Copies of this chain bind each other. A is one copy, B any other.
């Protein structure tokens, strides 16, 4: 129960990081005079936008898996994997802004903990279904 507070903090830290990626879009929009509703027109803006979108795209894979892993396995390990996800996402955002072709490194660092959280939860749920039935 106490450890769940740790997963809450990691969850909200992940969301604050995600919010930071959307702030960078707003900043790049203003600096490069991209007038809404346009989402193209300058490489810096388009990079910032893709970083935000890719982070958004991964939140449904990451967050439910984080909490299912907490439920099935361990809040402490889930929290540690969540921190690794944030680290990978920071790398991805900074690398992508410099040079989109370098985005694989941070992408891999955030994909790894997501896979462990997702397949760890799936394995446990399937094992329990197999043992106890529906």
- Assess the A12–B121 pair: CB atoms within 8 A: yes
Is A50 close to B, CB under 8 A? yes
* A contact patch SS: helix
- Assess the B5–A60 pair: CB atoms within 8 A: no
CB A67 to nearest CB in B, in angstroms, measures 9
Of residues 37 to 53 in A, which have CB atoms within 8 Å of B's CB atoms? 37-39, 43, 46-47, 49-50, 52
- Assess the A125–B60 pair: CB atoms within 8 A: no
- Assess the B100–A64 pair: CB atoms within 8 A: no
* Number of copies of this kind of chain in the complex: 3
Q: Which residues of A contact B (CB under 8 A)?
A: 2-3, 5-6, 8-9, 11-12, 15-16, 18-19, 22, 35-39, 43, 46-47, 49-50, 52, 56-57, 59-61, 63-65, 68, 76, 96, 100-101, 103, 118, 121-122, 125-126, 128-129, 132-134
Q: Which of A15, A22, A96 has the most CB of B within 10 A?
A: A15
